[in-house]
Structure 1
């Protein structure tokens, strides 16, 4: 039985998706295998797809990978290996940035929704800004 994912597990899976090679086919089964191989975490497709961050990252990477024909054009074949590696790193960073920007936008939207709902229920900003209790409390 698959275990529940921790925040660290989710972060690891999303980072794995950020680094997913564009010439490799992306499926939920392939992701499950990669997670088990790279992070020694036995999980299922259902467990992974329940997590909004993982599901969103999977969809974004799937669009990128699906748009890739897998055949290198002539300009790509003529690149020296160091430039190819640099281009792959830049592409990975760009994908990470796009994913984080989309995630940030979703979190901001959720924050605004919470603020509005808190206001409707009479929760004050001072109440919202109270620190979390410590273990000693």
Structure 2
């Protein structure tokens, strides 16, 4: 009769499953082989059948891997390396522009707050919610 798993071994196996690479397929056979490093033997899939922590970790990680794979499949792929490079360059330029806009808005907000405090507005007044719009 096989020995029971200790809580420490189960935690280690659950950690192996949670840390499973997102790009690698997750199967029970692979989990059993990876568990050898913790258990010093290769358990069967059935050995994990009544271990809720292991089963739950498997289901959650499997869903994450499947979701990642489906997300990647839905992204349109460029037809050539040149098209990909152009897309990357365009997106990097857009990111740079957006960062500059955010910086300018933050500076404007700092200026507004500074001037509001200098001219007598209190913190409570600055943090007051906007009034409700009456559309009647």
> Normalization by structure 2: what TM-score?
0.47
User: TM-score if structure 1 supplies the norm length?
Assistant: 0.47
- Which structure would you say has the larger Rg? 2
Instruction: Considering Cα pairs closer than 8 Å and 6+ residues apart, tell me whether 1 or 2 has the greater RCO.
Output: 1
